Amino acid sequence: MEYTEKQNILVVEDNENTRRLLETILRGSGYEVTLAPDAEEGLRILEGDVAVDLVLLDLFLPGADGVQFLRLRAEMEPDRQPPVIVVSATEDMDTLRPQLRELGAKLALRKPFDVQELLDGVKQHATKRTAKAAMPVAPAAKTGRAKTKGKSATKR
């Protein structure tokens, strides 16, 4: 219960309306959201200082596409490889699913997507990474409690 930091979802989507829709859905469900209009920006974010717990990835992007994003992500340090859910309008989703899984995608949803299915996937796959990261923090939180009694629960 001490761990209250919101999970951060990176949305890599070139369509502004879809990006805003995903942001609204995710923020309304209690997530932090980081937006990237293309694969290059998404990869820069993964390489930066922002902790990312999950990536929602479109396949059709300007420049590098979603498959190239997955390949480049796989070459990063393991702690820079959050789980990925592909959300794309491709007609070939059923054909692409095995390849996407091989490249590390946990789930592949076709647009228009079912909001509950998306949120269930986000909850299932984002939680695993954050739960592991939160475990080492627990002993430190106990020590911090004596110093800031009563403040940690209202901090965020």
State the average pLDDT over residues 17-38: 98
**Any idea which residue has 């990237």 for tokens?**
36
Q: Provide mean pLDDT across the span 130-143.
A: 41
Say yes or no to pLDDT of 112 above 60: yes
Q: Give the model's pLDDT for residue 134.
A: 43
Question: What pLDDT score was predicted for residue 38?
Answer: 98
Residue 146: per-residue pLDDT: 40
User: What long-range pairs does 62-71 form, CB within 8 A, spacing at least 24?
Assistant: 62/14, 62/37, 62/38, 63/38, 63/39, 64/38, 64/39, 64/40, 65/39, 66/12, 66/39, 67/99, 67/100, 67/103, 68/39, 69/12, 69/39, 69/42, 69/43, 70/100, 70/103, 70/104, 70/105, 71/103
pLDDT at res. 156: 36
Model confidence over 83-109: pLDDT tens digits? 999 999 999 999 999 999 999 999 999
Return the pLDDT at 15.
97
Label residue 42 by pLDDT band (50, 70, 90).
very high
Q: Is the pLDDT of residue 137 over 90?
A: no
pLDDT value of residue 5: 82
